[in-house]
């Protein structure tokens, strides 16, 4: 499991790493690319729009957008957390379906 996250500031360097990664994970404002046992990331905040278009264009076929993150040590714990979130009452006291 990856335990080290290495930040890359240079867009060209990140693109070189990302092209060797099987997929790129997008969780705004970051992009992550795993290369062997290391996870490289770049902060997209503050990047110029032309650079954003360039990197998203190059990585279009291998980018996965992450909607949310759930921490769990087992599948059972994951299912419990997801069920709790699904039936959590809203502000009127009704559960969500």
How high is the pLDDT of residue 85? 83
pLDDT at 1: 64
pLDDT of 76 reads: 94
pLDDT given for residue 93 in this prediction:
55
Q: Which CATH architecture has domain 5-86?
A: 2-Layer Sandwich (3.30)
Which residues of the chain carry a pLDDT beneath 50? 97
In DSSP notation, 43-69 reads E-TT--HHHHHHHHHHTGGGEEE----
């Amino acid at each position: 499991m990856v335990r080290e996250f290495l930040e890359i500031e240079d867009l060209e360097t990140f693109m070189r790493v990302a092209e060797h990664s099987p997929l790129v994970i997008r969780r705004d404002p970051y992009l992550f690319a795993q290369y062997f046992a290391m996870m490289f990331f770049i902060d997209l905040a503050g990047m110029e729009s032309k650079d954003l278009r360039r990197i998203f264009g190059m990585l279009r076929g291998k980018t996965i957008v992450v909607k949310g993150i759930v921490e769990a040590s087992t599948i059972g714990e994951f299912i419990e957390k997801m069920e709790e979130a699904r039936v959590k009452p809203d502000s009127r006291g009704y559960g969500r379906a």
